[in-house]
Amino acid sequence: MQFKRDPIIAQATAVGKAGIGVVRISGEGLNPLLNKLFKKSITPRVASLIHLRDENFQSIDQGLLIYFSAPNSFTGEDVIEFHGHGGVLVMNLVIQRLIELGKDLGLRLAKPGEFSERAFLNGKIDLAQAEAIADLIDANSIAAIKSANRSLSGEFSKKINRLVEQLTHLRMLVEATLDFPEEEIEFLESANAEQQWQDIHDALQTVLHASKQGALLKNGALVVLAGAPNVGKSSLLNQLAQQEIAIVTPIAGTTRDRIREEIYLDGIPLHIIDTAGLRESDDVVEKIGIERSWSAMGDADIILFLRDASIINQADSDLLLQEIKNSLELENHQSAHLIEVWNKKDQVNLLDKNLLYISAKTGDGIENLKEQLLQALGWEKHSDNIILARQRHLDSLNIALVHIHQAHKYLSLGNASLELFAEELRLAQEELGEITGKLLPDELLGKIFSSFCIGK
């Protein structure tokens, strides 16, 4: 049973001063409102000039009115758009007046993401495509824009749907064998189950890999600069940011708190944190900064451990590095990449080819360091198959892969375990169905769309 939804309204363009502002209305049966706005008959998808006036017939704004009749619209419902001037006050007056004119229809302000949600519920787009709309708006690099557009066009969904089809086909063969045991069908041979499983496994691995690349492009990584005082952490931050973010002095302990800056490497956002130098201190403020340094490393994707290459005796740095390793192990955070960086290259004559040298002062070696960062993150340049995945996509893909592996264990046991094999295939299929929204609880749908902007 489908319930009639209230018509909704919102500003579709960003709030602020602009040459143009767009107000969008979506709902079922908007003709009564359309007749109030435009006395003549209006042709769908053709712009018409109107004067929007208040109840006293005073002009509020003039602009273009465009009508999209259901189901040929973004939401699948009737849609009216008013394209007027983009001032904050004038847009508010336009919305207020349109709500008054649509009062009999129950016109109300839209909730965040409600237009996209209706497009999803009306079958115009699936959930992965709806999320791609928000990702396209939030994209902070050209690579992210390209990836979001691929998902919006349905490339990601097609890959998922293809996997679901393969799983369905294999399940049908298994269940047919279970339903007709008297036929003595040798399933493992007649259905070529092993090869079918391998095809599904390989395709899922490919999608998961592309999704991990996309998640990296979308979310970036946290990089923490760590080490003893005066090894050049703040200078490195300034060098990476290409501006004077942190204060640099010869005085040890200048940095008392975490300093955060965002940079982009090959389109990937890296959140760089410069931390207080790690040492024993009686200074109350510095001790707090050092505690925050340790805390930051516990959250890091990459820790750049800086050493002063001009110092011959590295015993203290060795002890500090071991302390960091012990701390990461204690916190079960061994997934963090720990990279040793030997700073002050400009003050060293003989270099060890096995070590990573830089000069945060001159910039020498910085490009090599950037390449090391990208390699540590597993980034593959110039890939056209990246999927701008969200964490929930990665979670579902990983869980589906676990079920696929478990299914293979049952498959290897022969026909006696085919029922368990089929069950694992079903569970994998359900996880994949959650990505496109075919098998997703309503409360999770609400949470996803609530993160969208109002006009979407």
CATH 1.20.120.430 positions along the chain are 142-215+390-449
Q: How far apart are CA 397 and CA 133, in angstroms?
A: 21
Average of per-residue pLDDT across 86-107: 94
- Asked if the model's pLDDT at residue 277 lies above 80, the reply is no
Q: How far apart are CA 121 and CA 263, in angstroms?
A: 38
Contact 71, 56 (CB under 8 A): no
CA neighbor of 35 nearest in space, from 107, 99, 101, 81? 101
Average of per-residue pLDDT across 56-69: 94
Average of per-residue pLDDT across 313-328: 86
Q: What is the pLDDT of residues 366-407, one digit of tens each?
A: 999 999 999 999 898 766 788 888 888 999 999 999 999 999
Average of per-residue pLDDT across 171-175: 81
Window from 5-19, 95-109, 290-304 with minimum mean pLDDT: 290-304
Domain 142-215+390-449 sits in CATH 1.20.120.430 = yes
CATH 3.30.1360.120 positions along the chain are 8-110
Instruction: Domain 8-110: give its CATH architecture.
Output: 2-Layer Sandwich (3.30)
pLDDT reported for residue 285:
58
- Asked if the model's pLDDT at residue 275 lies above 90, the reply is no
CATH of domain 224-377: 3.40.50.300
Neighbours of 240 (CB within 10 A): 24
pLDDT band at 256 (very low <50, low <70, confident <90, very high): very low
Distances (CA, A) of 399 to 108, 298, 429: 40, 25, 10
Identity at 48, one-letter amino acid code: S
pLDDT reported for residue 388:
86
Q: Where are the alpha helices (DSSP H) in 191-280?
A: 193-219, 233-241
Instruction: Tell me what percent of the chain is helix, strand and coil, each rounded to the nearest 5.
Output: 50, 15, 35
Q: Mean pLDDT over all residues of the chain?
A: 85
Cα 286 → chain centroid: 36
Bridge partner residues of 263 (DSSP): 270
Per DSSP, the three-state class of 258 is: coil
Please name the residues in contact with 406: beta carbons below 8 A apart, sequence gap of 6 or more. 424
pLDDT band at 184 (very low <50, low <70, confident <90, very high): very low
pLDDT band at 25 (very low <50, low <70, confident <90, very high): very high
CATH 3.40.50.300 positions along the chain are 224-377
Neighbours of 12 (CB within 10 A): 20
Please name the residues in contact with 389: beta carbons below 8 A apart, sequence gap of 6 or more. 156, 210, 211, 212, 214, 215, 218, 397
- Asked if the model's pLDDT at residue 248 lies above 80, the reply is no
Per the listing, tokens 């942190």 go with 246
pTM given for the model: 0.76
pLDDT reported for residue 249:
44
Phi (first) and psi of residue 23, to 5 degrees: -110, 130
